[in-house]
């Protein structure tokens, strides 16, 4: 693990130097471009959104907090070596433990992209993670899910996740649809939900 952490830290430094010169290296696929060019900028312009959590870090997500300059962005990643690609603050934890790290109703948005089916796989763990995320959302808060609807990544499709039943379907920020296949090659879908307003 130290060797991997050193490699990631070196990669983050090199990429940071390149970023500062205005040559931000990005993942070229359309699903990531949609997130970076439409969804995150829309959230950044939304005055109702102040505190966001981005779940899952990799070299191609390192610049996501900079796409949200008006917001307080926290990142979360289970792999401690990938902390080099996280923001500030960054939480090293499994998403199943989200409620141990963030207060109830403290977030305006949670973006969980590329996590379901990519390590968050077992039904009980998915339920725990998504129930925790819902608890951390304020009423009216957004939960954006990005997942691949192909085997073996789709073992827990959203319509089978009870923790999402308490949320309302919503439009993906910047788009007028609740659900969208953003990349056909791997059936990468975005789906948006909102925590109901308190009555």
Task: Assign residue 99 the CATH number of its domain.
Answer: 3.40.50.150
Taking 70 as the threshold, does the pLDDT of residue 16 lie above it? no
Classify burial at 13, counting beta carbons within 10 Å of its beta carbon; exposed 0-12, middle 13-18, buried 19 or more. exposed
Taking 70 as the threshold, does the pLDDT of residue 199 lie above it? no
Tens of pLDDT along 105-154? Answer: 999 999 999 999 999 999 999 999 999 999 999 999 999 999 999 999 99
Residue % of the chain over a pLDDT of 90: 83
Question: Could you tell me the pTM of the whole model?
Answer: 0.91
Q: Is residue 199 part of a domain?
A: no
Taking 60 as the threshold, does the pLDDT of residue 160 lie above it? yes
The answer to which of 1-10, 41-50, 150-159 has the lowest mean pLDDT is 1-10
Tens of pLDDT along 55-79? Answer: 999 999 999 999 999 999 999 999 9
Q: Is residue 21 part of a domain?
A: yes
Q: Is residue 131 part of a domain?
A: yes
Short-list 155, 131, 130, CA closest to 145: 130
**Sequence-ordered list of residues with C-beta below 8 angstroms from that of 132, at least 6 positions apart, any chain:** 95, 96, 97, 98, 99
Higher pLDDT, residue 2 or 129: 129
| 177-197 average pLDDT score | 96
Number of domains forming the structure of the chain:
1
Q: Is residue 141 part of a domain?
A: yes
pLDDT of residue 30: 87
Tens of pLDDT along 17-40? Answer: 766 777 776 667 889 999 999 999
Phi and psi for 139 in degrees, rounded to 5?
-55, 130
Domain containing 60 equals 2-194
**Sequence-ordered list of residues with C-beta below 8 angstroms from that of 169, at least 6 positions apart, any chain:** 178, 191, 192, 193, 194
């Amino acid at each position: 693990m130290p060797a991997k952490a050193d490699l990631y830290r070196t990669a983050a430094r090199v990429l940071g130097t390149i970023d500062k010169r205005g040559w931000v290296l990005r993942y070229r696929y359309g699903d990531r471009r949609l997130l970076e060019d439409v969804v995150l900028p829309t959230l950044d312009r939304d005055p109702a959104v102040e505190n966001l959590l981005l779940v899952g870090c990799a070299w191609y997500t390192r610049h996501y907090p900079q796409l949200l300059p008006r917001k307080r962005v926290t990142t979360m990643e289970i792999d401690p070596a990938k902390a080099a690609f996280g923001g500030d603050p960054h939480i090293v934890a499994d998403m199943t433990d989200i409620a141990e790290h963030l207060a109830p109703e403290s977030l305006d948005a949670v973006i969980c992209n590329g996590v379901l089916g990519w390590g968050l796989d077992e039904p009980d763990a998915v339920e725990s993670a998504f129930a925790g995320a819902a608890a951390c959302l304020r009423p009216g808060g957004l939960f954006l899910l990005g997942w691949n609807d192909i085997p073996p990544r789709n073992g827990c499709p959203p319509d089978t996740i009870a923790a999402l039943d308490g949320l309302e379907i919503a439009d993906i920020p910047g788009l007028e649809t609740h659900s969208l296949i953003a990349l056909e090659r791997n059936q990468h879908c975005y789906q948006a939900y909102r925590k109901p307003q308190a009555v």
